[in-house]
A and B are shown apart, each in its own frame.
Chain A
Amino acid sequence: MKLVDSYEFIEKLRDLIYQLLEIRDRSRIGGDSFLRIKMGTPLVKLGFISMLKGGVIMDVTNEKQAEIAEDAGAVGVMVLDKLPYDVRASGGVARTAGLDVIQRVMETVTIPVSAKCRIGHAEEARLLEEVGVDLIDESEVLTPVDERAHINKWEFMVPFVNGARNLPEALRRIFEGASMIRTKGEPGTGNVAEAVKHMKLVNRDIATLRGYYMSGDVEALWVYAKENKAPYELVILTARLGRLPVVNFAAGGIATPADAALMMWLGADGVFVGSGIFKSSDPEARARAIVLATAYYDDPETVAEAQKMVSERSAMIGIDVRKLKPEELMQVRGE
């Protein structure tokens, strides 16, 4: 079974959910059948995410940074009001970025433009869809408004990415309509430790499920779904596929080319770099080096070349995650 085959399954899952809700006909998804053109379908959303694979999406706060990212070969930019590091430093409530800034970035670069909305804040998401953002990140970096229920993402034409710390969390987000997952890590720290932890947790659970599937132990799959509050259909799909059923990027604390290559080795389909680039003192060179190291992660010679493009003295200082108080952790928001 291949990743694109899982897209077909997710399409059926969407149909099933919509049949049960009986809102399919009124939904905006499906477009006008008279024109034969269908918009916002799962294949259109998941296909778009597939195009990002092997690439780097960079956090930016203005159009100048967005241009640097595009010239460095980024596959996308994520527009924020403040970089995660500054969100952490300033405290208070973090909200979605100003729509005027997002629009200026969209008029400046040709690559996809993403933006974050608060967890559970469907209206912020609708606004982002309205201005024409290509990908919405329902993100724990911003202050959540509803930690118990995430946004119903099936209702949107624009694809969503959600953070996850482990496999059940990722599968719950996909069940809510997320088209892409990113392992959370600990944002704004310049410390890749938590990203590694989360990626390995996801990988080990997938290996376990794959083992159950290969040995024909369906009962174990039921028990796993029940004990971990994971949607049963997606547990079986993951077990059969042997990977996450949607594209998965690594995020949270990636600061050097070697960090990016490490995450790719651990099975990430690409990386998000938040504060790592524009909190360093060599953003242009660092952005290019991280793009190169991500694309050629399996070629140590090229990664070494990329690592030489940046100086460790210029890297962001970073934060030891163990020094953060429990209430300062962003990764625990919205399970």
Chain B
Amino acid sequence: MVVVGVLSLQGDFLEHLQLLSEIDGVKALPVRSAKDLARIDALVIPGGESTTIGFLMRLRGLDSAIIDLAREGRPIMGTCAGAVLLAKRVADRVVGDTGQPLLELMDIAVKRNAFGRQRESFEVELSLEGIGSMKAIFIRAPAIVEAWGDAKIVAYVDYPGIGRVGAVAIQKNALAVTFHPEISRDTKLYEYLVSLVKK
């Protein structure tokens, strides 16, 4: 049995927990404080507002605990806001530098609200190298504009007026996903995350 934690401070953590518990051999656990991290094999950081999740994470001392967990090699996946929090460099399309609290675990640069506002949010069929294709829901989504070092972009999205930008990046045991598999209810990415857990 693999225990996957979902950071449950703000956002759609419930959708992640429900989807994870439908996968065979997986137990899903909400993570609310640093002590919950000791019991999990992998972590999902859900969608929500990255500024809110970052604010609460720092206030509760969860940020340093999550960085320690990732350094130990336990797999971690961030979706949308979670992908923003994993990035080393973050800027907003309109506001520019955000100065928000981050985990800085992946060698990627992310542009927040890259496609525009909610009006410009969209769904599209996307194919992920080595993982498969799925319906991807992009909501006020960030884009991965650069990956360096060990980080590799494995899926791109073509958006009119913006061009080809990164949608998913993988760096060893960390995954940054800019869309919402928990809303389209596709388990492929979660199964991939579970496969990274050391047996």
Known: A43-B123, A51-B80, A291-B52. A112 touches B118 (CB 8 A): yes
Distance of A182 from chain B, by nearest CB (Å): 17
- B59 contacts chain A at the CB level, 8 A cutoff: yes
Q: CB-CB < 8 A to A45: which residues of B?
A: 118
Q: Say yes or no: A110 contacts B56, CB within 8 Å.
A: no
Residues on A facing B (Cβ under 8 Å): 2-4, 7, 31, 35-41, 43-48, 50-55, 70, 72-76, 106-112, 129, 132-135, 157-159, 291-292, 295-296, 299
Listed by A's residue number, 30 A-B pairs whose Cβ atoms lie within 8 Å are A4-B15, A4-B183, A31-B122, A37-B124, A38-B122, A38-B123, A39-B121, A41-B123, A43-B137, A43-B183, A44-B121, A44-B137, A46-B183, A47-B12, A47-B137, A47-B183, A48-B140, A51-B12, A51-B49, A54-B13, A73-B55, A109-B95, A110-B51, A110-B92, A110-B94, A110-B98, A132-B117, A158-B119, A159-B118, A292-B59
Interchain CB contact under 8 A, A108 and B119: no
Whether B122 lies near A50 (C-beta < 8 A) is: no
Q: Mark B160-199, 1 if CB is under 8 A from A, else 0.
A: 1000000000000000000010111100000000000000
Q: Name B123's closest neighbour in chain A (CB-CB).
A: A38
- In the assembled complex, the Cα of A3 lies from the Cα of B182 at a distance in Å of 11
User: Which residues of chain B come closer than 8 Å to A159, judged between CB atoms?
Assistant: 118
- B183 x A50 contact (CB < 8 A): yes
The chain B residue with its CB closest to the CB of A129 is B119
Chain B contact-residue range equals 35 or more
B11 pairs with A54, CB closer than 8 A = yes
Is A36 a contact of B185 with CB atoms below 8 Å?
no
User: Does A295 lie within 8 Å of B113, measured CB to CB?
Assistant: no
Residue from A76, A110, A299 in contact with B113 in the complex, judged by beta carbons closer than 8 Å: A110
In angstroms, Cα B49 to Cα A240, docked, is 30
Whether B49 and A134, one on each chain, are in contact in the complex, defined by CB atoms closer than 8 angstroms, is no
Shortest 9 CB-CB contacts between residues of A and residues of B: A73-B55, A134-B118, A47-B183, A54-B10, A50-B12, A75-B49, A73-B52, A132-B117, A110-B92
Task: Flag B93-126 by CB within 8 Å of A: 1 or 0 each.
Answer: 0110010000000000000110011111111110
Does B18 belong to the interface (CB within 8 Å)?
A: yes
Residues from chain A with Cβ under 8 Å of B81 in the complex: 51
Residue of B whose beta carbon sits closest to that of A247: B12
Tally of contacts, chain A with chain B, CB under 8 A: 137
B122 proximity list for chain A (CB < 8 A): 31, 37-39, 44
Q: Does B152 contact A (CB under 8 A)?
A: no
Interface string of B38-66 (1 = CB under 8 A from A): 00000000011101100110010000000
Given A292-B56, A292-B59: A47 touches B139 (CB 8 Å cut-off): yes
Q: Which residue of B lies closest to A75 (CB)?
A: B49
Q: Which A residue sits closest to B135, measured CB to CB?
A: A43
In the complex, B29 has a CB within 8 A of chain A: no
Q: Whole-angstrom distance between the alpha carbons of A3 and B185 in the complex?
A: 12
Do B139 and A44 have beta carbons less than 8 Å apart? yes
1/0 contact string of B132-151 vs chain A (CB within 8 Å): 00000111100000000000
Task: Find the residue from A31, A134, A135, A159 having the highest chain B CB count within 10 A.
Answer: A134
Is B9 part of the binding interface, using a Cβ–Cβ cutoff of 8 Å? yes
Residues of B contacting A50 in the complex (Cβ-Cβ under 8 angstroms): 12, 15, 47, 183
Q: Beta-carbon contacts of B1-42 to A below 8 Å, as 1s and 0s?
A: 000000001111111001000000000000010000000000
B123 and A73 contact, CB distance less than 8 A? no
Q: Which of A2, A47, A70, A132 contacts B119 (CB 8 A)?
A: A132
Chain B residues within 8 Å of A48, by CB? 118, 121, 139-140
Residues of B within 8 A of A299 (CB): 32
Within the complex, the shortest CB–CB distance from A248 to chain B, in Å, comes to: 14
Which residues of B have CB within 8 Å of A37? 122-124, 159-160
- B12, A106: Cβ atoms under 8 Å? no
List residues of chain A with CB within 8 A of the CB of B160: 35, 37
Q: Is the CB of A110 within 8 A of B95?
A: yes
Select the residue from A7, A75, A108, A158 with max chain B CB neighbours within 10 A: A75
Rounded to whole angstroms, the CA-CA distance of A70 and B138 in the bound complex is 22
Closest A residue to B118 by beta carbon equals: A134
CA A45 to CA B122, docked complex, whole Å:
9
